[in-house]
A = this chain, B = another copy of it.
């Protein structure tokens, strides 16, 4: 069992953090302040393996860091977490570079020839960024069997093979079948999965419900 930092107190952080605790891991939820209301609610509703702290305290605590902040705030949150607390650790980057400031639908503030995953890797070269789970609603991330018996795909990008293997084990513990975990290669391939977000949003606009995903048919 691992000590894990979950950065971000939104629905994604709460869902992923609670699932990790259910699986037996210890989770510190990190936010800007010591006494973030949502982080305290997360601690209250989970067992004693849940705790809360600042971004820096959580990152220092965690052997693995889950970035569940909003894409716009991710680099700042990770900087507040502190490079020394991230070095030689895996950052599981679930965030998407969605810019809601110009109205709906959101655009991407980085895309095409760059990605948020790459920006995080560049900002923290001694960390091992693994981009994954960013192509679906958080309810599906931690419970793929919610739809189609779990038979649909999750993608993965990152420069470090060992780090990806370790995260693959966590995905399997979430219920993902190995055959449905698609490793695209290095962190540059995060462009592919981040640029899928507009299609995700279009499908969501039709479905009016986040409980969907895509499956590669061949």
Interface positions of A (Cβ within 8 A of B) = 102, 107-108, 111-113, 147-148, 151-152, 155, 182, 184-185, 189, 191-193, 195-199, 201-203, 205-207, 209, 211-218
Contacts and interface: CB of A to CB of B under 8 A. Distances in A.
Nearest to A200: B192
Contact of A218 (B111, B151, B205, B211): B211
Contact of A214 (B201, B207, B216): B216
Contact of A217 (B152, B191, B218): B152
Q: How many copies make up the complex? A: 2
A199 B192 contact: yes
Among A108, A111, A193, A216, the most chain B Cβ lie within 10 Å of the Cβ of A216
A218 B147 contact: yes
A184 B206 contact: yes
B216 A212 contact: yes
A215 B212 contact: no
A199 B155 CA distance: 10
Nearest to A201: B192
B199 A182 contact: no
**3 A-B pairs with least C-beta separation:** A192-B202, A212-B218, A192-B198
